[in-house]
Amino acid sequence: MHDDAAGYVHPEKVDVAACVGATWIGGGVVGTIDILARALRPGGMLLVGEPYWRREPPDQETVAACHATARDDFDDLPGLIRRVQAHGWDVVEMVLADQDSWDRYAAAHWLTLRRWLDAQPDDDLAEGFRQELTEDPVRHVRYRREYLGWGVFALLRR
Ligand SMILES: C[S@@+](CC[C@H](N)C(=O)[O-])C[C@H]1O[C@@H](n2cnc3c(N)ncnc32)[C@H](O)[C@@H]1O
């Protein structure tokens, strides 16, 4: 099924429902939990990938470079876990990105951009992708690598 997950309800209840890196579809982590929970059988598990502030962002420039519009778009890690618990879910497992794995994720984009540019140097999109390949590594090391954490959290309903 390839569709907008925000409006999709799976016809059968499932054991595991996951959203790994798109919680904006539900307006944040809590709304996305509610979307996923519609398809969950009693006792089933949710997997939710969510960013959090690894360090407190010092200014709006940092906030914007980390895919947020406002500082309060994301919690810090204790705040995120408390938010999920307050919504009625236990956090029973988590896998957090560290800075090295964050680098692997970001750098895969850079190599993909470079390979694409090598293959299609005269494409209409080439100028924009060239700019992205120049700017994104700087943005990553200056902002996201330092300030933005990310993890997948396994949840069971309380
Ligand atoms: C940040 S990526 C994460 C992808 C992958 N899980 C990862 O960790 O690399 C977000 C993914 O969510 C998908 N997505 C965005 N909005 C969506 C929506 N409304 N419904 C379903 N998928 C959506 C995008 O196509 C993209 O593949």
Tell me how many helices (H) and strands (E) the chain has: 6, 4
Q: How far is the CA of 99 from the centre of ligand 1 (A)?
A: 21
Q: What value does the mean pLDDT take over residues 63-87? A: 97
What pLDDT score does 106 carry?
Answer: 96
Q: What's the DSSP call for residue 30? A: H
- pLDDT above 90 (res 3): no
Helices 29-37 + 77-86 axis angle, to 10:
40
Residues with CB under 6 A from ligand 1: 4-6, 20-22, 25
CB atoms within 10 A of CB 17: 21
pTM equals: 0.92
**Ligand 1, atom 9: nearest CA belongs to which residue?**
21
3-class SS at 133?
Answer: helix
φ, ψ (nearest 5 deg) of residue 117: -65, -40
- Could you tell me the pLDDT band of residue 155, with boundaries at 50, 70 and 90? very high
Which ligand 1 atom is at minimum distance from the Cα of 5?
20
Test site for ligand 1: of 8, 24, 25, 47, most ligand atoms within 8 A of the Cβ = 25
Q: What integer is the mean pLDDT of 80-99?
A: 98
Cβ within 8 Å of residue 67, ≥6 positions away: 51, 148
Nearest CA to ligand 1 atom 1: 21
Is residue 9 over pLDDT 90?
no
Q: pLDDT at position 115, please?
A: 98
Would you state the structure tokens that stand for residue 96, as one six-digit string? 């957090």
Whether 153 has a pLDDT exceeding 90, the answer reads yes
Task: Name the CATH topology of 5-98+146-157.
Answer: Rossmann fold (3.40.50)
pLDDT at residue 10, rounded to an integer:
85
Q: For residue 1, what pLDDT is reported?
A: 85
Average pLDDT, the chain: 96
Tens digit of pLDDT for each residue in 99-151?
Answer: 999 999 999 999 999 999 999 999 999 999 999 999 999 999 999 999 999 99
Q: Which of 1, 2, 4, 35 to mutate to test the pocket of ligand 1 (most atoms within 8 A of CB)?
A: 4
